[in-house]
Structure 1
Amino acid sequence: MSTASTQLPQERYGRSSDVRSDRTLKIVGTVLGAVLLAVVGWFGYHYVAGSGISAQVITFDASDNAVKVHLEVHKDAGTDGYCTLRSQAADGTEVGRADFRFTGPDTRIDKVVTLRTTARGSTAELLGCHRS
């Protein structure tokens, strides 16, 4: 009888330590994948939920030296922040820019603010809102 015929099947096709290594690698890969998924989810949530304050321009009314802007601001209760507005003339030059602060416990603020300008503005543009 030859020695090849007396070997056990696991000795011919691999050692039992290879099975343990494969199992360990699967466990480590699963744990690392779950951690990566949790980190991506955490960053995604904070990117979307992010600033905690947002606004939109409802209407605006321009005169020769000011633009009255009707803003609707949504924010978290107790969050203080500011929104930056700008106005441009008909030729595209910026004629006014200002930050407007919003504080207090309200979560929705409906307010008309006055943006002073150096010339007649033809736009009222919300550049963004941030926590302070």
Structure 2
Amino acid sequence: MSKAGGKMKAMKKAVDKVVHGNLIKTNIPAGMAIAGPPLGPMLGQRGLNIAAFCKDFNARTAHFIEGVPLPCRILVRSDRSYELTIHNPPSTYFIKQAAGIQRGAMSPGKSRWSENWCH
């Protein structure tokens, strides 16, 4: 039992240290970056200055309509600096806006019409 206990302690020490990846992929609404969840904790656990990031993001997305979801890639460097890449809004956002709906189908490929006429 003592051998197993020793191995468990060694494993536990190895697990205690959590290493976060250096790339964050997220969608942030244009002009609406705030220090609260979910963005704040993602940046904070990697050691970034959250207020400075929010100010930078909101300034860089000022030309977009406020609230448009923007896919972002944040590359965090070891010196706690970052490289922010902002992509164009997803096409599904524009399709939903044109259709005047809030969200898409809950079960894609199935509709009441097709279920009634297939039998």
Which structure's CA Rg is the greater one? 1
Q: Which has the higher strand share?
A: 1
TM-score, length basis structure 1 = 0.30
Q: Which has the higher helix share?
A: 2
